[in-house]
């Protein structure tokens, strides 16, 4: 994991988990609840690669499961699956492109959603009737959010690192 990722992952994911339960769960875009932890984790994986994305996915998934009545580990496994689905194309990503981040964001979100349903079914949990009908708008909304967050993470980190070099 990169040095910045070492410091950031826990406070960022904790803050997102708090905001998710208290704020984002009330926000509905196209009838879909935005899952901030999922969006930020996939955006982080886009920028920092699969290894670091997997670590974020594991931690973020645990926080999602800790704050819901689902079994522990399901969201971790599904989110890691989402990052893994993106990983073959991550090396071809450059900061200026738009289409590839969009495509990878959609792929990661879709894999996460399907993985959640699959792992919950395997664990013997009932799946809501509208889980699959909500798939398309969920993927659309999350994909549209992942790209600007990906650019934001890039820009913030470049600025942060440039400032650090000047100090040294």
Partner 1 sequence: MNINESRRGLRWRFVIALFAAAFFLLFIDTSGQLGDPWQLLRDPVATLSGRFSGLSSALRRPADLAAAQAEITALRERLSVVERENEQLRGAQADYQRLVELFERVAAAPNYQRVPANIIGWAPNPLFRDLIIDRGSNDGIRVGMPVEAARGLVGQVYRTTPNSAQIILISDAQSFIPVRLSQSRAVGILGGGGAGGLMTLRWIDLEAQVLPNEIVVTSGLQGQSPQEIIANRFPPDIIVGRVLEVRRSEAELFQEAIIQPAVDFNALETVLVITDFTPVNVDVFDDSQP
Stretch 144-163 residues interacting with partner 1 (CB under 8 A): 157, 161
Residue 137 as a binder of partner 1 (CB under 8 A): the answer is no
| CA 57 to centroid of chain Cα atoms | 7
Which stretch in 96-104, 123-131, 142-150 sits in contact with partner 1 by CB under 8 A? Answer: 123-131
For partner 1, which residue of 39, 41, 52, 110 counts as binding (CB under 8 A)? 52
Residue 136 as a binder of partner 1 (CB under 8 A): the answer is no
For the bound state, the minimum distance from the C-beta of residue 44 to partner 1, rounded and expressed in Å, comes to: 11
Name residue, tokens 């990722």.
5
Distances (CA, A) of 114 to 4, 9, 123, 148, 155: 31, 25, 14, 24, 31
Alpha helices in the chain (DSSP H): 3-22, 36-48, 50-66, 74-90, 99-122, 135-167
Residue 121 as a binder of partner 1 (CB under 8 A): the answer is no
For the bound state, the minimum distance from the C-beta of residue 161 to partner 1, rounded and expressed in Å, comes to: 7
């Amino acid at each position: 994991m990169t040095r910045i990722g070492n410091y950031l992952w826990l406070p960022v994911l904790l803050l997102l988990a708090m905001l998710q339960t208290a704020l984002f769960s009330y926000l509905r875009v196209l009838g879909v609840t935005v899952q901030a932890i999922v969006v930020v984790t996939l955006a982080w994986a886009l920028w920092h690669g699969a290894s670091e994305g997997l670590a974020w996915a594991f931690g973020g998934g645990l926080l999602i499961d800790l704050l819901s009545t689902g079994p522990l580990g399901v969201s971790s496994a599904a989110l890691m699956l989402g990052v893994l689905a993106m990983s073959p194309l991550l090396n071809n990503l450059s900061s200026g492109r738009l289409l590839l981040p969009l495509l990878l964001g959609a792929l990661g979100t879709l894999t996460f959603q399907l993985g959640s349903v699959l792992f919950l079914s395997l664990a013997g949990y009932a799946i809501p009737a509208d889980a699959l009908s909500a798939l398309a708008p969920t993927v659309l909304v999350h994909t549209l959010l992942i790209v600007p967050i990906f650019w934001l993470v890039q820009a913030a980190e470049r600025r942060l690192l440039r400032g650090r070099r000047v100090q040294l």
